[in-house]
Structure 1
């Protein structure tokens, strides 16, 4: 059999983790996480890591592999995930990749361009400006200074906007200049499977998951990483809203509602990203058997 990586992607709370564990069990293999936050040891509740039972069922890579003190990006992920893949291929013909971070999956499947090194002061300054002036300021800056990139950017994602601005500040050039769009050939086959749920059901899952996170101690987890609040991994849904609560800007109930709203919006952005890739074959998350049958026919 040709060496193969099965990629299972889709929006948050659609059931990717459980399905990837089932498939890894079936092929007696391991799962590589493609989630940009689950690699950090210090944040578990807000990142919806696989449960201890799931982690014990099949081997997992890129879960609890780094400290929040470290910076991990798509370029680093590409190198690590390729190493993990080769390790798995030493014993097995199939590896499973599971996650919702589209940029990481693309980096693994196609390669990613080397980005310029950014002086730490530039990012610090932009983070301070963002904290002071908010998302609208970032959007206006990028629209004025790099309208071509802004037209295709994730304009609701402050991380992406800050990244584009820091490249502009450091090099005087658009981030698009450093994207050659040349694909790196892989010496293994990639099968891309997308899963989702009807919108109402997905939203129910999201709301239920947020309620469970709160019961599990999300506020305490966020409080424990306050010293690292400028880290990119914490500039995301579930952490920013609790920071606002701890800062006294909103009530806890408002923070919970904001997390639910922002998670729904994030799930929509994830779907938009993955749907742009025609290589994905889509399944209803409740029809796991259908996906498994399809995989067995392909392998």
Structure 2
């Protein structure tokens, strides 16, 4: 490591699948070490998304405040680029105050955007997006795919004709900027002036994680998750195609409230969708470089495991 790298301030990434025990470990670190928590979660950013997102309770946030929680109305989109901008500003402020940034969550795309940087892609243009959707309704998505192939053959090779979201975005980027997504992604802003120590926490067995997910989902229902989503459903400006409502659990409850599925099916789909999310998160982590693994505290040895995890993290900062 160069002298320049040695002088970089430390920052901690604490990643892991949903229901793996990230929050309690982060709070303990904040209480017992000079850390400040930055949430890395695409659901926790939304106001009113409390129960279904497993947002830290008021008591937990009183113990250890979390930045980037409750920052947006659910009608507003928030991108990985938005997160990177906000996280870097917070990390700089925390470091200037002599503390260590502790980034905690399971939105792996946000972590990757912070670590590897992002291409300078233009922001979405609702008018152009609507124009593309109207053309798709008239001609079909295969026609849209052909339009993309004419301006960005590399992207057309990567994106399947039955993937409307990515097709629309790739063509939108070209129509906004006059440059293909392939061209723009060759330029990446990856300046990250921190020495990052990375950790992932999860149970030793997948079945244990599945059990924790099912238990937590049912606890959310007992805490009033349905009432939380019914309140959101009453708003005329929210609908099922918004990123906020597509969050795992919320989409399934929304379908139940609209009468598309019955209660038991909602519970089943909610648990399955959460397990699928955890599987995707684990897939990200299996390919992650420079990753230290921790074990989820469970059973009679929970406190001992928690203390061991904390020691491993704190030792890495020395």
Range class of TM-score, shorter chain: 0.7 to 0.9
The residue aligned with 1:39 is 45
Q: 1:67 aligns with which of 68, 73, 78?
A: 73
Per-residue Cα deviation, 1:155-174 (whole angstroms, up to 9, x for no partner): 9xx8xx61453222452676
1:298 aligns with 2:316: yes
Q: Distance in 2 between matches of 1:82 and 1:166?
A: 26
- For residue 259 of structure 2, the aligned residue among 235, 242, 248 is 248
User: Taking structure 1 as the reference length, what is the TM-score of the superposition?
Assistant: 0.85
Gaps of at least 5 residues in structure 2 are: 1-6, 150-154, 298-304
Matched, 1:192 2:210: no
Matched, 1:289 2:307: yes
Match of 2:300 in 1: none
Q: Aligned to 2:279, what secondary structure does the other structure show?
A: helix
Find out whether 1:218 has 2:229 as its counterpart.
no
Q: Does residue 171 of structure 1 match 2:164?
A: no
Distance 1:240 1:207, change over 3 A: same
Q: State the number of aligned residues.
A: 287
SS in 1 for 2:35: coil
- Quote how far apart the aligned CAs of 1:268 are: 0.2
**Distance (whole Å) between structure 2 residues aligned to residue 27 and residue 210 of structure 1:** 31
Residue 55 (structure 2) pairs with residue 49 (structure 1): yes
Deviations 1:132-168 (A, max 9, x none): 9xxxx989987996554348xxx9xx8xx61453222
**Structure 1 unmatched runs, 5+:** none
CA distance in 1, matches of 2:199, 2:118: 21
1:237 aligns to 2:248 (yes or no): yes
Distance 1:183 1:119, change over 3 A: closer
Q: How far apart are the structure 2 equivalents of 1:215 and 1:124? A: 40
Specify the SS of the correspondent of 2:193.
coil
2:12 paired residue number: 6
Superposed displacement of residue 184, structure 1: 1.7
Instruction: Name the counterpart of 2:124.
Output: 118
Kindly provide the CA deviation profile for residues 164-199 of structure 1, in whole angstroms up to 9, marking residues without a partner as x.
532224526764443236462322211110111121
Residues 229 and 254 of structure 2 are in contact (CA less than 8 Å); yes or no, is this contact kept in structure 1? yes
The answer to whether 1:258 aligns with 2:264 is no
Normalising by structure 2, we get a TM-score of 0.80
Decide whether the 8 Å contact of 1:6 with 1:94 is kept in 2: yes
Match of 1:82 in 2: 88
Kept in 2, the 8 Å contact 1:9–1:98? The answer is yes
Tell me which structure has the larger Cα radius of gyration: 2
